[in-house]
Every structure is written in C-alpha cells, then in structure tokens.
Structure 1
C-alpha cells in the first residue's frame, strides 16, 4: 500500500473520530448560518432549544451523512495532498519541507478534488440538519429522514443538479484548508527548526532533528484551523444556505452577490451567524484530527509493513 493511501485511511479515521466528538456544534452552527432572522442566541441557548423540541438526539440529526462525508472528504484530501506533496518534493532537491507557495499549491489541488467529489454528501447533511427547523421553502416537520430518504427527497424535489448546490462558494472555500495546511506546515517547520537548533546547541549530534509530540500536533492543528475558519466564515454562511436549498439563497447570482445581499439585508452580523459554535467545533475537530491522523498513520503503517514482508 502506498504512503498516500495510508495517509488517506488515517485521515478518514481521524476525521470520523473528530466529527463524532464535535457534531452537536456543527449542527448548531449550520442552523444558525441558514437562519435569516435577526435572532441572537448563545450556543448554550440554541442547544437547549433543540433538546427541548427534538430531544438530545436532535443534536445529532445528519450525523450519519456527516460521518460518511468527513471520511470521504478527509480520505480524498489527504490522498491528493500527499500525492501532490510527493510530486513536488521529487521534482526538486534540497529541503524536504514545503515552502509557503508549494503548500498553497498542494492544498489547492487537494481541496478542489475533494470539494467536487464530496459536495453531494454535504448537501444531504445540511438538508438533514435544517429539516425540522423549517425554511422559507417549507414549514417545520417533525419526522427525520435517513441518508437515502433525504437523497430521494432532494432528487424528487430538485433533481440531480441539487447535489451541487453551493459548489461556487464551496470551491472558494478551498482557500480554507489552503490557509489551514499552509499555516500548519509553516508553524510545524518553524517549531522543528527552533527545537532542533536548541537540541544541537545542547550537545546533540549534528544530524539530530527534533520530533514533535501528539500535543504539539494538537495545538498546531487547533491554531491553524482557527486562522482559516475566522478568515473564511462568511463564505461558509453562503454555502450552508445554498446547500440547504433556501429560496433566498438560490437567488444569489454568485458567491460575492450572496455576501453583499446578506450584508444589505442582515448587516455584518448576518455574515457571522453561528461563528461561535463553528470556531469551537472547527478548532477542536482540527486539533483531534491532526493529532489522531498522525497516530493512526503510524499504527497503520507499522501494521502493514510486516504483512507486506511476509
């Protein structure tokens, strides 16, 4: 099995763990992003309202499609990211660390491929998450739909093209993981270089290189995701509304038109609805993912290598 495939498996597994742990926050931020009323609620109050109306399991509506989505998204992303990274490193000699431009190029290739492949799943997840809150297209309903039932419902109502609703802002949001992984790579390189210099200054061999811990990866993942999510959140709002099939959102002529329309009708606050729970969720998910993916990658590789030698 190739190194890229192992990275893909580890990324998918790490994503499932992270998504399961933080899903209620995704659910709350998705609903807040889709809501067009100027209603201010804390994450805590929003959670209480959902539990009161739909029970504790209401916070997990759409979890099944999210787990499928994150497994495919992370698997595809890590696969293309590592393949692109390997291709760049093979094409030149010298440092094995990616430069800022190389990190951005690698992230763009991986992010674009991932978005095109996974968008239908996120349309299903968003539809499941907002189904019981009602919308400008339909009143609230009490019954929840499973993954396949939601797929059939979207097909019957809007046709197969509906699965690529929001693809415009979703492609713009490729910049989110680009920012995230670029920040992560550069912070990681800086930390390794700094610790390696201290290690060698303390008397270690000239070839000694510092090794980062799981905790280092946890905090590097958290900080890089905080930077990326804060910078791109308004596009997340536009994407969520389009994927939910909001009638107002479907009138947006482009991602930029969506941003301007929200700004005009709802003010600056409208562009950042649900950002509190989203930032907390994104940071926790990225932290768990970066730490977990690294550990799962090492365990998987250690398990596969002996098998391949027999």
Structure 2
C-alpha cells in the first residue's frame, strides 16, 4: 500500500471522526450565523419558541434537544460526512505531489509554504465546485427548523396584527393562534432538502454561495501552511539539538493543529457567515430587508441593517468546533499512519 493511499485513508478517517464528534457544535454555529436580527425595528409579536441564537452555545444545544430531540443536532450529518471525506482526498493529493517532487529532487518531501498556497488553492477551487451542492444541502438541513419557525412566526404576527386592526377576536382566531403555537418543526431528510433547493432556484440553487466559498479556499491553505511550518520547525529544532525523539507526539500534533485552525478560522470567518446565509432558506430573514439575492447584496444589507458584528455571529462557537475538529483530525490521522506503518513492517517481516 503506497504512502499516498495510507495518507488519503488516514485523512478521510480522521476527518469523519472529527466531524461526528463536533457536529452538534457545527449545527448550532450554522444557526447562529444565519439568524438575522436588524439593529432597529419593532419586536415581533407573539410567543413562539425562543430565538435559536439567544443565550450561550450550551443553552442553544439544550434548546435544540428540548424542541427537536438529539436528531436535531445531527441534521445533515450523512451528506456532511461524505463532503468531509471528499475534501480530505484533495488535501492529501497535495501531499502526494510534494512526495513526488522529493523523488525528482525538488524539495524535502514536505509541502512548503508557497506550494501549499498554490496547490491548496487549485485543489480547493476544484473541491468547491464539486462538493458545494453537498454543503448547500447540509446548511439547509441544519437550519430547516429555524426557517420554519420564522415562517410560522411571520404568519402568526400578520394574523395578530389584522385582528388588532379590525378589533375582532373570535374563537376561530384563537384556534388558529393555538394551532400556530403548537407547531413544532422537525428536521427533514437529504432528498427533501434537494427538492426544496431545486424548487426555489433550479440547478443553480445547488451552487449558492459559490463566490465566498471560492474565496475561502485560502482557509485550508492558511491552516496547513501554519501547521506544516510549525511542525517542520519543531522537528528541525529537535534534530539540531540531537534529541533522540524526533517524531512529533500526538499531543503536540493536537496543539499544532488547534493553533493552525484558530488562525485560519479568525481570518476567514466573515466569508463563512455570508456563505451560510446565502445557502440557508431565505425566509430565515423574516423581513425582505434581511433576504439576499447574491453575495454583494448580502454584504451590503448585513452592514446596513445589522452592522459589522453580524459578520462574526457565532465565531466563539466556530472557533471551539473547528479548532477541536482540526486537532482531532491531525491526531487521528497521525496515529492511523503510524499504525499502518507498523502493520506494513510486520507484514514484510512475516513474508521474509
């Protein structure tokens, strides 16, 4: 089994495990990003379920579990796992190219800073074009109940306003209000999400948010550039001091991965918020002023109606989720690669 295959399988395995562990945080974070509240304006009337973005991350997780069950935290997990595995394949292709260059006498076998910027940008762009339909569905599935609450809230508000203006409150109105109050949206499946996206915008709907997503290909470039640079520096430092243990430990890999992902997340987070809002069902915005026709329209309206802080909604949750996920990914990958190396060495020794 070649190193490229081992690294590919290890990367995909690490990515999947990290995704499963941190997915509830990702679900809550997507809902935080897509919750739209204007700086000024009247407070909506009615007593519907609490604002999904109110309170801390733990409070929001408990709210989701209370209203939707544990399944609400894992809505969209299946397509997300597929997308994660596919993304890791492209990342490991860059490592394979670096190894091939070493055989040709170019470089030392590690992916250098400039190589990461170029190779990851090209691989990332292709990755985006091929996998963005998956992430559109994931975003829809994560925010479906949030959008449905907004739709019900708007209907209830309109009915209450019309009743107030006409001064008519009858049993039928009360029954209708009670019906709206009793509605509890539930997560939906991948096929339903796909039909909804196609029904709204056709095939083009599966590539919503393509512009900010393409720009965001610099995120893995920054992440792996930081990780590879720090990892190489640590190894070189140990080699210079002639220390017996030159390999990086699992804990060190975890910490390096966390630091690398932290830097990448903070620098590209505003683009992630714009992408999520474009891919989510537009009814989440409630008011037409908070619904977007494209990337530029989203940026202008977010600045005008919500202010610059809207670009960093849920960033603390994202930092925890992405840093922990990246750390687990790197740690699991390194351990899988080590295990495969040991098994291959034992297998060769047995054949001898």
For normalisation by structure 1, the TM-score amounts to 0.87
* Preserved contact between residue 144 and residue 281 of structure 2 (Cα < 8 Å): no
Match of 1:241 among 260, 277, 280: 277
Which position in structure 2 is the counterpart of 1:19? 19
Aligned residues: CA RMSD: 2.6
Residues 217-228 of structure 1 aligned to structure 2 (within 5 Å): 217-228=253-264
Match of 1:81 in 2: 94
Q: 2:108 is paired with a residue of what secondary structure?
A: coil
Q: Secondary structure at the match of 1:14?
A: helix
Q: Secondary structure of the residue that 2:282 maps to in structure 1? A: coil
Partner of 2:35: 35
The separation in 1 between residues aligned to 2:318 and 2:272, in whole angstroms, is 10
Please say if 1:162 is aligned against 2:205: yes
Structure 2 residue runs of 5 or longer lacking an equivalent are 39-52, 154-183, 284-289
List per-residue Cα deviations over 1:64-83 (Å, max 9, x = no partner). Answer: 222222122223332x2223
Distance 2:295 2:189 in 1: 31
Structure 1 segments, 4+ long, off by >6 Å, are none
Q: Which residue of 2 aligns with 1:58?
A: 72
Contact 1:11 1:74 in 2 (8 A): yes
What's 2:180 paired with? none
1:188-199 alignment runs, 5 A limit: 188-199=231-242
Match of 2:168 in 1: none
1:181 Cα offset (Å): 0.4
Find the aligned partners of 2:109 and 2:81 in 1 and give their Cα distance: 33
Superposition pairs for residues 87-166 of structure 1, below 5 Å?
87-90=100-103, 92-93=105-106, 95-134=108-147, 138-139=151-152, 142-166=185-209
Q: Tell me how far 1:94 sits from its aligned partner.
A: 5.1
Gaps of 5+ in 1: none
Decide which structure has the larger Cα Rg and report it: 2
Alpha-carbon spacing, 1:253–1:76, altered in 2? closer, same or farther (3 Å) = closer
Q: CA deviation at 1:40?
A: 5.0
Matched residue pairs, number?
Answer: 299
Q: Distance in 2 between matches of 1:151 and 1:277?
A: 27
Q: Which residue does the alignment assign to 1:299? A: 339
